[in-house]
Amino acid sequence: MIRLLVVEDETLFRVGLQKLLSLHEEFEIIGEAADGEEAVLAVQELRPDAVIMDVHLPRCSGIVALERLRELGVQTPVILLSTFDEEDSFLKGMRAGASAFLRKDVPL
């Protein structure tokens, strides 16, 4: 069982994503966060196996949150999500240590 943390500010998408992932037995959603700062705290507290995080988040972006996690020595795999193909965000995210950079409409 892979324990996941979902970080997304759009409630409808966050709930839908959790539901979609729950359909697969190998995933367990252990928590959720709606912004980057909340995500950093949740990762430290819940110690998930992987994080699925939106790039554009309020208060602190997904990329900045990922950088902070790496600075804190947290090596949890992070998958970044984005609505559009954003080359700049992709490069920054991968440089910050993301495991993957996916578009939100990618089929599971």
Q: Does 107 bind other proteins (CB under 8 A)?
A: yes
Instruction: Look up residue 69 and give its two tokens.
Output: 């996690």
- Among the listed ranges 17-25, 33-41, 58-66, 68-76, the one in contact with other proteins (CB under 8 A) is 17-25
- Among the listed ranges 15-23, 26-34, 39-47, 94-102, the one in contact with other proteins (CB under 8 A) is 15-23
C-alpha span between 45 and 105 (Å, rounded): 29
> Contact at 8 Å (CB) between 93 and 36?
no
Least gap, CB of 74 to other proteins (angstroms): 27
- Write the secondary structure of 57-94 as one string of H (helix), E (strand) and C (coil): CCCCCHHHHHHHHHHCCCCCCEEEEECCCCHHHHHHHH
Q: Does 17 bind other proteins (CB under 8 A)?
A: yes
Binding positions for other proteins, rule: CB under 8 A: 10, 12-13, 16-17, 19-20, 23, 83-84, 104-105, 107-108
